[in-house]
Amino acid sequence: MRYRPPVGAMLLLGMLLPLTSCVNSPSLTSIVISPSSMNFGGAGLTAQLTAIGYYSHPNHPAETKDITDQVTWASSAVGCVTVNNTGMITAGENTCSNILVSASAPGFPGLITATMTVNVTQPTTGGTGPTGAGDVSTINIIPSSQSVPAVGDTAQFLAIGTTSSGSTVNLDGLVTWTSSSPQVATIGQTNGLATAVAQGTATITALYTNADGTTAVGTASFTVVAGTAQGFTAISIVPTAQAISASGQSANFVALATNGSTNLSEDVTNAADVVWSSTIPTIATVTSGLATGNGLVTGVSVGTSTIIAQLTNAGGSVLTATATVNVTATAAPEPLLSLSIIPTSITVGNLQDTGNFLAVGTFSQSPYVRDLTNSVTWLSSAPQYFPVITASDASANPGTPAGTVTAFGFGTATIIAEATDPTTGSIQTATASFTCPPPTTPIEPGECYEGSQATGLLATITVYNEGENTTDWQITAPSATGTPDVIHCGPGWTANGGAGGSVCVATYPIDTVTPSGNPGVVLTAQGGAFGGWSYNCTPSDINGNAIAAPGFTAAGPNYCVVSLTETVYDQLTGQDVTISGVDQSVGGIFN
C-alpha cells in the first residue's frame, strides 16, 4: 500500500523550505561608500570610491562584502561630477557644492541606496599642482609591492598623488622614479617600469616636485625571487689617455668591468681573463699576463699607440676597451715613480658609514715618500653608491678630507687615485676597495641593510627662500668646526664673484650643537624685510636658544635652529633609532 504523508506534515515542510532558504541567503541591508566626501580642486581630477555591503539575517552571522562593481552608481549632477560603473568619479569644469553620488543595489526590504558628497572648485590663478589643483602632498604607489620570479622580468608601478585640496591625481610621467638598489632592480626614470637585475629586494621611490620646491615621496618594494650569475657587460680603461717620455718613462692604466649581475664596476686590471696589448709595441709596450702589475705602459719611441684591454667572458663573449698613449721625445722629469693607497681595502658595517683612504707617492728624489691625498684625483667605480671626495671638488664637504668614501648602497667599489704630472701629463694610478656587505637572511650585524645607518655621520641642510624678495635676502651658517658662511645663499650673497642662488647646500655631523650647547645648526637670515621662518626651523637667538613667538624682526638679522636627526625603524633590533643622512629643507619668508 502506498504511503501518503499527513497533510499537516506537508504544510509544515512547505513552511520550513522558505525559512531554510532565507537562513542560507542573508539579505543586503545597508551600503557604506568610502570615502564619505571628496573635495576636488580642478577639472579632470579623479578618485576611486568603494562600496561595502552589509548582509544580515536573524539566524545567520552578519557579513560584509566589497560590492563596488555590483552596485549601480549615479551622480546627481553629471555636469559637475561623473561616475562610472566601477565607482571612479571625475570632476567636471563647473564649480558645484554637495553633489550626491549614490550606490544602489537590491536588498531587504527593497532597493538599498547610499550616498556621498562631492564639492568641486575651479582654481582662479592656476594653482601649483600637476593639474592646477594645489600642491601634491602625498603619493601612493600602486601596487605597494611586487615580486617577479627571475632576472629580466619586468613590472609596472603607478604613482597616485593626493593634493592639498584632498583630491587625487594620476602622476604618470610627472614623477621621477628611482631604485634603492639598481644592482637588484632598475626602473625607468619617467615610466615606472621596473626590471629585475639580480636576486634581492629593492625599494622603489617616486618623487614629485611642486612648483614651490616642496616635494612628495612614495615608496614600494620590488623583489626578484631568483637570479643567475651573469657575465660582464662592459669594460673601460682609466684614464683614457696618457703622455709619457720615450726615455723609458712608464704610466699605469686600470681596467674596470661592469658585472651583469650587480651592475657594479670591478677592477679587472690583473684578471686572468683580461689581455692587454699595444697596437704599436715599437712605440709603447704594456704589461699583461702577470699576477699583478698589468696595464703598465712604457715609452719606447716617439709616436702614438692604442692600448687595448680585452676581456673574455666564461660564455665566450668578448669585450674590449681602448686608451691612447702619446710618447714624446721630452726627457723624463724627475718622475713620480709609483702611487699607492693606504689601506688597500676598507669594509664598513652600516649604510652611510665612511672610510678615509690616503694616497702615498714614491719619487726619485728627496723627499722620496710624500702624502698626495689632497693633490690626487679620487675616482669611484660606483659613484652613485660609494662616492669619494677629491680636495679640488667644489662639492666636497667642508672640513672633510679627500679620499673619504661614503656607503649609500651595498656591494664593493674600486677606489682609484690618479696623480698627474703637470709637465708631461703622465698619470700614475693606484686602486683600493671599499665594501659595505650586502644583507643576508636573517640579517646579521655588520651588513648594509636599510635602517642600519649609524649616528654621528653627515646630514644635509637645504636652505631656500619662500618669500617674494628676490634682490637682497641671504642666509648663512658656519660649519660644525666654526668655519664661517659654509651655508650661504640668496641674491644678497655677493662673495666669491657673484650673487648666490635661491638654494644652497652644506653637510654637518649629526651631533652638531649650537653655541649654547643645544643640538642643531644656527642659521642667520638678513637683508630685506623678513616675514618669518618656515615650520621646521625653530626661531632662536644668535647662540641657538629658542625665543618666544614671533621670534623675528622685520629688519633682522634673525636666527633659527635646524635639527639634524630623524627616527627610523631598525630591522635588526626591532627598535626605533635616531640616524643621520637627513635632507632638512628650511626657509625664510622675505616680503
User: For domain 24-120, which CATH number applies: 2.60.40.10, 3.40.50.720, 3.90.1150.10, 3.20.20.60?
Assistant: 2.60.40.10
CA distance 216 to 206: 8
Quick check: 26 and 55 in contact, CB under 8 A? yes
Cα torsion 416, 358, 403, 457: sign:
positive
Quick check: 324 and 315 in contact, CB under 8 A? no
What order of strands is seen across the sheet that includes strand 345-347?
345-347, 427-436, 411-420, 377-380
Q: Tell me, what amino acid is at 214?
A: T
CA distance 260 to 184: 11
Domain covering 333-450 in this structure, CATH number = 2.60.40.1080
CA distance 150 to 198: 8
Q: What is the pLDDT of residue 279?
A: 92
Residue 475 has phi, psi (to 5 degrees) of -130, 135
Quick check: 383 and 434 in contact, CB under 8 A? no
| CATH class for the region spanning 136-224 | mainly beta
136-224 against 333-450: fold identical: yes
CATH architecture under which domain 232-329 falls: Sandwich (2.60)
Query: Which among 213, 121, 205, 211 is positioned nearest to 167, based on CA atoms?
Result: 121
pTM for this prediction: 0.38
CA distance 457 to 446: 16
Give the helix ranges, DSSP H, for 107-228. none
Q: What is the pLDDT of residue 227?
A: 63
Cα torsion 294, 298, 301, 307: sign:
positive
Q: What is the pLDDT of residue 15?
A: 42
Q: What angle do CA 377, 379, 381 make, to 5 degrees?
A: 165
CA distance 512 to 324: 48
Query: Which among 499, 441, 485, 489 is positioned nearest to 465, based on CA atoms?
Result: 489
Query: Which among 384, 390, 448 is positioned nearest to 416, based on CA atoms?
Result: 390
Q: What is the pLDDT of residue 588?
A: 60
Instruction: Quickly list DSSP for 513-541.
Output: B-TTS-BSEEEEEESS-EEEE-TTSEEE-
Q: What is the pLDDT of residue 582?
A: 38
Q: What is the pLDDT of residue 66?
A: 83
Q: What is the pLDDT of residue 41?
A: 67
What are the grid coordinates assigned to 471, written together? 634682490
CA distance 309 to 295: 8
Q: How high is the mean pLDDT in each 10-residue block of the chain (591 residues)? A: 44 40 65 81 77 76 81 91 90 86 88 88 53 71 84 86 77 83 81 84 84 79 71 83 82 83 75 93 93 89 94 80 89 73 82 79 70 85 84 54 80 88 74 84 66 48 56 77 73 65 57 81 80 71 86 81 52 35 51 49
Peptide bond into 35 cis (omega under 30): yes
What are the grid coordinates assigned to 264, written together? 657594479
Domain ranges of the chain: 24-120, 136-224, 232-329, 333-450, 458-590
Residue 373 has phi, psi (to 5 degrees) of -55, -40
Strand 458-465 to 583-590 pairing: parallel
Number of Cβ within a 10 Å radius of residue 463? 27
CA distance 115 to 31: 9
Quick check: 253 and 238 in contact, CB under 8 A? yes
Strand 575-579 to 566-570 pairing: antiparallel
CA distance 368 to 12: 113
Peptide bond into 143 cis (omega under 30): yes
CA distance 53 to 112: 10
**Residue 173 exposed, middle or buried by CB count within 10 Å (0-12, 13-18, 19+):** exposed
